[in-house]
Structure 1
Amino acid sequence: MKLERKHALVLIAIAVWNVVTYVTFIKNLAATENRPTGYYVAHTVLIVVNLGIAGLLGTWGVRALKASRDVRRTDADLTV
């Protein structure tokens, strides 16, 4: 599958959004008190999984962005 620059930027934007929202979620979770242990375990699992997804999407986005730059350079070399 060939990803274009716009796809790469969307992947990176989603990854950044996930990180920002889940860092806020971590801060809010740390501020809670008097909750059962299962509450913290479940939310910690959600945080870890979603930050992992953000890392994966960010990696794909950066790779796609680099690949689109390489294609542009190759196309520019062919037209000159």
Structure 2
Amino acid sequence: MRMSRRTALFLTAFGVWSWVIWITFARNLWNSDNAWNPDGSPTAFFVVHALLTVTSFVLGTVIGIIGWRGLRASRRGSDDRSDQAV
């Protein structure tokens, strides 16, 4: 499957953006008063949002890798085209 350079850049940026946003969210979740019971155990709120965060990290990573591979392939393709023009 071919991917345009623009799409590859978008997917890579999306992957990076996901990590930036979800790291901030995870930090805020950990420090939230709603995250922990008085005995120190996690609340259902924490568990649900931790699962959401992990899922988002995984999806952001996969999407970013797809974008990065697309960027690398587009660079190789442009190198190949420049060789043909000579």
TM-score bin (small chain): over 0.9
In the alignment, structure 2 segments of 5+ residues that lack a partner are: 38-42
Task: Deviation per CA, 1:14-63: give whole Å up to 9, x if none.
Answer: 11111111011011101112446211110010000000011101110110
Q: Which stretches of structure 1, 4 residues or longer, exceed 4 Å deviation after superposition? A: none
Q: Percent identity?
A: 35
Aligned residues: 80
In the alignment, does 2:30 pair up with 1:24? no
| Match in the other structure for 2:63 | 57
Larger C-alpha radius of gyration, 1 or 2? Answer: 2
Report the residue type matching 2:70 in the other structure.
Answer: A
RMSD of aligned Cα (Å): 1.2
Secondary structure of residue in 2 paired with 1:3: coil
| Match in the other structure for 1:72 | 78
Once the two structures are overlaid, the 10-residue window that deviates more, 32-41 or 44-53, is 32-41
- Shift of the 34–8 alpha-carbon distance from structure 1 to 2, 3 Å rule, reads closer
Bigger fraction of residues in helix: 1
Q: CA–CA distance in 1 between the matches of 2:58 and 2:46?
A: 18
Equivalent residues of 2:34, 2:45 under 8 A apart:
no
TM value normalised by structure 2:
0.86
